[in-house]
């Protein structure tokens, strides 16, 4: 029996919670990673009765939930807030749009999410952090002394108290390393850990698709942060040699043939999932493998179904023996 294979419901928020749970079961998944938007998991309603009803709903369909995800609200904690955030945040968090007010309300919501996760009975909350310095990613005009350091300090000042609440509730946070976040590759992930003083509640939601097209060694990431891989997304991407729009998309939409890279249904891109599984086995990761399905050229129900099948096929348990040890006659029956 391999690891549980789950479906992240974030891209299915146009369906109500019971519908996507039912469909995920039909697609072949063992469970779901519930998004904290739509009606999939509503943090502002997540009291004991709500969480009990949500567990009953999962049990009714023979499904489990191993993590909830708060990417949209998490993004607002450190971000440079503008009108774009109004479309992804609940009204009670966006409010009047005053940037610092939005950031403070988002931070309080993430703290409440840790408490809700404990109430619901899941050990991990996945999400984003936002970043006050993403716009400085390419240093021209040259970044001023301490601008980057101050950005990581801002992250630590805002997320350190949040992580304390996670720690108090026995919940781990898993940052999805991703462009526009405080950590978007291996180097910045290391800087984030150092900035937050290796807080025991802080780690990563490993998603190879966001690392691979940047040219980051997405296998070595697993080994480097072996004790910080709190959750795993199975998401694929393809990339090529030449294009009009480069690594960061050239202001083009997804699924355009002039892009250097795009997301693909799992198993149809360039990500080497065989190596990922072997690395996860070596670090003894036994959590879920959660499919975050995105492919602009493919029917999502067909894609989600084939992705579940692919992940179950590519996953395998580690060996508990060394095969050539059996050459020793003392080990032979």
Q: Which DSSP string corresponds to 129-153?
A: ---SSGGGSS-SSPPPTTHHHHHHH
Nearest to 308 by CA among 2, 1, 5: 5
How does residue 156 score in pLDDT terms, banded at 50, 70 and 90? very high
Strand segments (E) across the chain: 5-8, 31-35, 64-69, 124-127, 172-176, 202-206, 229-234, 236-239, 261-264, 289-291
Helix (H, G, I), strand (E, B) or coil at 92: helix
- On whether the CB atoms of residues 207 and 233 are closer than 8 A, the answer is yes
Helix (H, G, I), strand (E, B) or coil at 303: helix
How does residue 124 score in pLDDT terms, banded at 50, 70 and 90? very high
- Domain extents for the chain? 5-331
Span of 116-125, 171-180, 211-220, 239-248 with lowest mean pLDDT: 239-248
- On whether the CB atoms of residues 277 and 266 are closer than 8 A, the answer is no
- On whether the CB atoms of residues 205 and 230 are closer than 8 A, the answer is yes
How does residue 319 score in pLDDT terms, banded at 50, 70 and 90? confident
> Cβ contacts of residue 212 below 8 Å, gap of 6+?
218, 237, 239, 270, 271
Report pLDDT for 104.
98
Report pLDDT for 222.
98
Mean pLDDT of the chain: 96
Q: Look up tokens 């795009």; give the residue.
A: 262
Of all residues in the chain, what percent carry a pLDDT higher than 70? Answer: 96
The structure's pTM equals: 0.95
Helix (H, G, I), strand (E, B) or coil at 291: strand
Of all residues in the chain, what percent carry a pLDDT higher than 90? Answer: 91
- Give the distance, in angstroms, between the CA of residue 49 and the centroid of all CA atoms in the same chain: 27
CATH of domain 5-331: 3.20.20.150
């Amino acid at each position: 029996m391999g690891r549980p294979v789950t479906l992240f419901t974030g891209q299915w928020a146009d369906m109500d919670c019971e519908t996507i749970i039912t469909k995920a079961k039909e697609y072949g998944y063992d469970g779901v990673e519930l998004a904290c938007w739509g009606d999939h998991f509503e943090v502002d309603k997540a009291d004991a009765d709500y969480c009990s009803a949500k567990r009953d709903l999962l049990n009714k369909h023979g499904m489990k939930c191993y993590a909830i995800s708060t990417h949209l609200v998490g993004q607002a904690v450190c971000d440079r807030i503008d009108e774009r955030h109004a479309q992804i945040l609940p009204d009670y968090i966006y409010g009047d749009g005053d940037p610092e007010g939005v950031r403070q309300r988002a931070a309080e919501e993430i703290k409440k999410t840790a408490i809700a996760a404990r109430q619901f009975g899941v050990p991990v909350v996945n999400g984003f952090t936002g970043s006050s310095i993403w716009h400085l990613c390419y240093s021209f005009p040259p970044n001023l002394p301490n601008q980057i350091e101050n950005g990581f300090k801002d992250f630590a000042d805002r997320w350190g108290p949040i992580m304390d609440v996670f720690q108090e509730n026995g919940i781990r946070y898993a940052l999805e390393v991703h462009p526009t976040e405080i950590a978007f590759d291996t180097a910045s992930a290391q800087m984030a850990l150092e900035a937050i003083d290796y807080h025991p509640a802080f780690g990563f939601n490993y998603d190879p698709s966001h690392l691979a097209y940047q040219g980051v060694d997405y296998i070595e990431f697993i080994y480097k942060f072996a004790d910080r891989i709190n959750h795993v997304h199975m998401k694929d991407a393809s990339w090529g040699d030449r294009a009009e729009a480069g690594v960061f998309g050239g202001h083009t939409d997804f699924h355009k043939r002039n892009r250097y890279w795009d997301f693909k249904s799992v198993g149809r891109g360039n990500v080497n999932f065989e190596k990922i599984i072997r690395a996860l086995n070596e670090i003894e990761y036994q959590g879920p493998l959660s499919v975050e399905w995105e492919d602009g050229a493919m029917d999502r129900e067909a894609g989600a179904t084939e992705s579940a099948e692919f992940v179950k096929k590519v996953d395998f348990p580690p060996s508990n023996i060394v095969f050539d040890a059996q050459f020793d006659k003392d080990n032979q029956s």
